[in-house]
Amino acid sequence: MNTSYQHSDLTHLILKAFFNVYNTLGYGFLEKVYENAMHLEINKLGLSCIAQQPIDVYYDKEKVGLYYADLVVNDCIIVELKAATGLAPEHEAQLTNYLKATDIEVGLLLNFGREPQYKRKAFANNRKNHL
């Protein structure tokens, strides 16, 4: 399946929530404040949202670690939040690794910096070796 447009309706709603939160709170809070606000805003849109979802990490089919995704929406989109000056390659790598470690194929990286920034990432399940 082409993951480039998968769940585009949901990512659109999540981005709507992102801009609502950004326009209300602005720049300068800690990530946890934005996480809590995004959780509320996403729930207001009628979507399922789980904060700090545990993600198992595997190596050679053995569990080697545990990460926590900031938000998981409708069990199909990982949302990674940042409150940084700007998005960095490490932020994108972090989201890509979360997608590699799960059966979730779509993720959003949202930055509550001086200017709002977002990136959408997709990683097809047929490329994952842990499933």
d(CA 73, CA 33): 18
Q: How remote is the C-alpha of 78 from its chain's centroid?
A: 4
Higher pLDDT, 58 or 104: 104
Are 78 and 99 in contact by the 8 Å Cβ rule? The answer is yes
pLDDT of residue 16: 97
Candidates 13, 43, 45; CA nearest to 110 is 13
**How remote is the C-alpha of 91 from its chain's centroid?**
11
Task: Decide: pTM greater than 0.75.
Answer: yes
CA distances from 129 to 38, 65, 68, 95 (A): 32, 16, 20, 17
Q: What are 49's strand-pairing partners?
A: 73
Write the CATH number of the domain with boundaries 8-124. Answer: 3.90.320.10
Reported as a single tens digit per residue, the pLDDT across 17-46 is 999 999 999 999 999 999 999 999 999 999
**In the predicted model, is pLDDT for residue 63 greater than 90?**
no
Largest CA distance in the chain: 45
Give the pLDDT band of residue 110 (cuts 50, 70, 90).
very high
Q: In 3D, which of 79, 102, 101, 82 has the Cα closest to residue 90?
A: 82
